[in-house]
Amino acid sequence: MEGLDMADAQQGTHQQVGERSLTDLIERSAELKGQLVAFGQSSRFDRWLTPLLLEAAGPERQLDEGETIRIVDHFILQYRLPDGSTVVDRFVAGRKDLTAVDRKMLLGWRDPVEGIFEIQRKEKDAVVLLNLVDDLEYRTYSNVGRAAFRGVSKGDFLHTCLVPVHLTGEAWLVSGAMSSYPESSATEIAQAALQLATNRPELVFRNPRKVEQGWQAMREDRAAFIEFCGGDELTLQPAVAEDLLNAYYRHRQEAAVAAQPGRDRGRRLPGLDLPYFELPQELAGSDTIGVIYDQVDGLNFYADYGMLRDLFVEPALGGRRQYQDLLRTYLGEESIGPLPLRRLAAAHPEAADTVFGKLLRKPGFTWSEHGEALLRRRKPWYYANEPRPGVSVIGDRLSALAAGRRLSPSPRSHDRHAVHAPADHRRHARDHLVP
């Protein structure tokens, strides 16, 4: 097993360190969490917390207790205040009485593990949870004691967030709201976990092995895309792009089923819900769509890409306002990475010098000398993060649950299972699951 899968072997380590120490830390976490919540809900943070609660409540101004707890917990631990700090940062900075252990524990809470978890077993005051999203196990406690897990059993599911206890780095605490679901809801729970993995791939990539698998899966998917579509860069009308992508996904789906002779041929792979691919409205209304499947940035879609390409083919068009406005949008819009500009500049280097020189009013501009620095200035967010694959790979257990197969939770194999998933509705890019 991955992650904390050596639970039994590590039990002796906990005893050597001293169960009293772990107990003390959990008790201390309860004290600190109560103080932190009171601090985060004080009037000094009203201007940021109140709008979040109102937005979640909607026009009806109704918000259940669980959702309120989730919002407050996220606000306290992860919400970035105008200076870039979090509430927990300010709490730690203002409390000179905290010990080094207190500070380490509190600051560790800034990176909670969100997921949908299957209960593997109970061990004294803890439950061992398998996160269906990142495919890792977590030995989990509650700062209110074992009573928190009363009424749930092996095979049931929990939706919650976990924060670390910094004793051995292998004990976790429930943070915020915890919702439980019976074993009988496995299929619905699996669909929710698939949706979470698709919409928030960073949760999958907490598992380093999933990063490796994601890159490999994306390489395979990109090669299949190029073979089916005839290239890794296409300029199409939106309706044509949708039809082509649907045909491609259907082809991949059929290939995946054919590769598994034991699977019921009448059953779809988990995650497929035809019509499979639909462009978001802001792309569907464009004259043309650029579809680029890059080896690093993955599969991306770009509005009015044909018009932008024409500018690089015929730089004299840069004298027209609509072309300059489009180039300015591609350069300044945060939802657009450097990829399309790099592609066009590489294909038309002399034109790139002309069109960017005119846009920036810098006649001496050359792409080879100044292009990368320009992109870094205009798109610092892109360079601030390590590249991640645009494909998420799910684990055996989630794959089995999504397919309606009642497999034993353990032992688990390390085969790769994944499926195509619907595109998210970001403007220009898409993270997806592949077979």
> Residue 5 — pLDDT band, cuts 50, 70, 90?
very low
Pairing of strands 233-236, 137-141: unpaired
Q: What is the pLDDT of residues 263-299, one digit of tens each?
A: 555 455 544 444 467 888 889 899 999 999 999 999 9
Contact (Cβ atoms closer than 8 angstroms) between residue 205 and residue 214: yes
pLDDT of residue 14: 43
Contact (Cβ atoms closer than 8 angstroms) between residue 148 and residue 178: yes
Sort residue 135 into left (φ over 0), alpha (ψ -120 to 50) or beta. left
> Residue 405 — pLDDT band, cuts 50, 70, 90?
low
Go through the domains of the chain in sequence order and give each one's CATH number.
Answer: 7-181 (2.40.50.140), 208-384 (no CATH)
Q: Whole-prediction pTM value?
A: 0.76
d(CA 103, CA 108): 8
pLDDT of residue 419: 40
> Residue 124 — pLDDT band, cuts 50, 70, 90?
confident
Q: What is the pLDDT of residues 364-400, one digit of tens each?
A: 999 999 999 999 999 999 999 889 998 889 999 999 9
Residue 391, exposed/middle/buried by CB under 10 A (0-12, 13-18, 19+)?
buried
Q: With b meaning 16 or more CB within 10 Å and e meaning fewer, what string describes 125-161?
A: bbbbbbbbbbbbbbbbbbbeeeebbeebeebbbbbbb
pLDDT of residue 168: 61
pLDDT of residue 272: 45
End-to-end CA distance of the chain: 22
pLDDT of residue 46: 96
